[in-house]
Amino acid sequence: GQRCSGLPQDLILSVIMVESGGNPNAVNINGVRGFQPKCAESALKIIYHYNNANVDIGLMQINWKTWGPVYGIKPAQLLDPYYNVCLGAKILRNYLEQHKWTWRGVGRYNAVSQDKQERYAKKVAAMYSRIKKIKREG
């Protein structure tokens, strides 16, 4: 992610932990529920069971309905951890640039409405602080 985007590794890791808890096969069917399958095959079965649903996929929970058409990608590609983090970090960087490198850009990665952006940014900021503290104490 860092090589793809130039973003700090700890920020990318913070988003990953908030989004998927670190599960590369995490799937969230918006309006239904989140799933934590153990393998990519199970994740794909869930995705295709809900057929064209508004779905977030993988480590950085990339929304396939939004970004699939933009990048011409299939859900299976988003289950590749390297690809997912690389694309997610690029999307995050784009929002950070749009919002002048503020926490609002982090919030925009997850939400459109300002109140949801603020809640999300606070979660990521708290995770970022925890990661930094663990590294200091490490």
Locus of tokens 């990339």: 62
Q: Tell me: the pLDDT tens digits for 53-106?
A: 899 999 999 999 999 999 999 999 999 999 999 999 999 999 999 999 999 999
Specify the pLDDT at position 90.
97
- The one-letter code for the residue type at 13 is L
Specify the pLDDT at position 70.
95
Specify the pLDDT at position 77.
97
Upper half-sphere CA count for residue 137 (Cβ side, 13 Å): 6
What burial class does residue 47 get, using C-beta atoms within 10 Å of its C-beta: 0-12 exposed, 13-18 middle, 19+ buried? buried
Summarize the confidence of residues 36-56 as an average pLDDT.
94
| 8 Å CB contact between 98 and 117 | no
pTM, entire model: 0.94
Q: Which residues pair with 28 in a beta bridge?
A: 34, 56
